[in-house]
C-alpha cells in the first residue's frame, strides 16, 4: 500500500469513529447533548445522551440487543427516560425487547399506535406495557435539557397510512443551533 492510500485510510477511520458519536451542543451551564449512532447492522439504533434525559430510538433486530446493551453499558447507562419504537418492524424493535428485559430502568415507551401480528411485536408490546406508554402524535415536544428538545413530526393520530414504514415515528432533535431528523423507515408518502 502506498503512503497516500495509508494516510487516506487513516483519515477515513478517524472520521468514521468521530461520526459514531457526535457531541452536538453544549452551553455554559453544562447542558451537553451527544448523539450516538449504534451499529446494529440492518435497522437503526440511536442513543441521545443529555444532561437531564436519555433517549433510545430503536435497537435493531433481536440479534443486535447485546450490541446495544454492551454499548449502553460502556457509557454506564442505567436509566433511559424515553424509548422510542419508530415502527413495528423487527429490525427496529427486536433489540428493544432485550433492552426492556435488561436491568436498565425505562420510564416511558413511545409507540406509533399501529399494531402488528409478528411474534417480535407481541414480545415488544407485552414488555412495553409494563412501563408508561405514550402514543406519538405530531406536535408533541419532549424537553430533554435546557438547550435540547425532541419534537414529533409523524405520525398523526388516527394514523394516516396503512403502511408500517410510513407510520414511523419521525422526531426532530433540536440541540442549540444543531438539529437532527430521525425518520425510522418513513417513505415518500410520509414526507
* C-alpha distances in Å from residue 76, one per residue of 28, 122, 167, 182: 24, 29, 33, 24
Is residue 83 pLDDT above 80, yes or no?
yes
Is residue 97 pLDDT above 70, yes or no?
yes
- Which domains can be identified in the chain, with CATH numbers? 33-190 (3.60.15.10)
Query: pLDDT at position 1, please?
Result: 53
Name the DSSP letter for residue 14: H
Percent of the chain topping pLDDT 90: 70
Q: Which residue has 487516506 as its cell numbers?
A: 8
Is residue 165 pLDDT above 70, yes or no?
yes
Strand, coil or helix: 45? coil
pTM: 0.84
Total residues found in the chain within this entry: 191
Selected residue with higher pLDDT from 162 and 95: 95
Categorize the per-residue pLDDT at 43 as very low, low, confident or very high, splitting at 50, 70 and 90.
Answer: confident
Query: pLDDT at position 3, please?
Result: 53
Q: What's the grid cell of residue 43? A: 435497522
Each residue's pLDDT tens digit, 99-110: 999 999 999 999
pLDDT, mean of residues 107-132: 95
What distance in Å separates the CA atoms of residue 110 and residue 94, rounded to the nearest whole number?
A: 15
Amino acid at each position: 500500500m502506498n503512503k497516500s492510500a495509508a494516510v487516506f485510510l487513516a483519515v477515513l477511520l478517524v472520521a468514521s469513529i468521530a461520526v459514531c458519536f457526535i457531541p452536538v451542543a453544549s452551553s455554559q451551564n453544562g447542558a451537553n447533548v451527544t448523539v450516538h449512532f449504534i451499529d446494529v447492522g440492518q435497522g437503526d439504533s440511536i442513543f441521545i445522551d443529555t444532561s437531564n434525559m436519555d433517549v433510545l430510538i430503536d435497537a435493531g433486530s433481536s440479534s443486535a440487543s447485546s450490541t446495544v446493551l454492551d454499548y449502553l453499558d460502556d457509557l454506564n447507562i442505567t436509566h433511559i427516560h424515553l424509548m422510542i419504537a419508530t415502527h413495528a418492524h423487527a429490525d427496529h424493535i427486536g433489540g428493544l425487547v432485550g433492552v426492556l428485559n435488561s436491568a436498565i430502568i425505562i420510564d416511558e415507551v413511545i409507540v406509533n399506535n399501529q399494531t402488528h401480528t409478528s411474534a417480535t411485536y407481541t414480545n415488544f408490546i407485552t414488555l412495553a406495557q409494563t412501563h408508561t406508554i405514550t402514543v406519538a402524535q405530531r406536535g408533541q415536544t419532549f424537553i430533554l435539557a435546557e438547550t435540547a428538545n425532541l419534537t414529533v413530526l409523524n405520525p398523526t393520530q388516527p394514523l394516516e397510512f396503512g403502511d408500517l414504514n410510513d407510520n414511523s415515528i419521525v422526531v426532530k432533535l433540536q440541540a442549540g443551533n444543531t438539529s437532527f431528523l430521525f425518520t425510522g423507515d418513513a417513505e415518500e408518502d410520509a414526507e
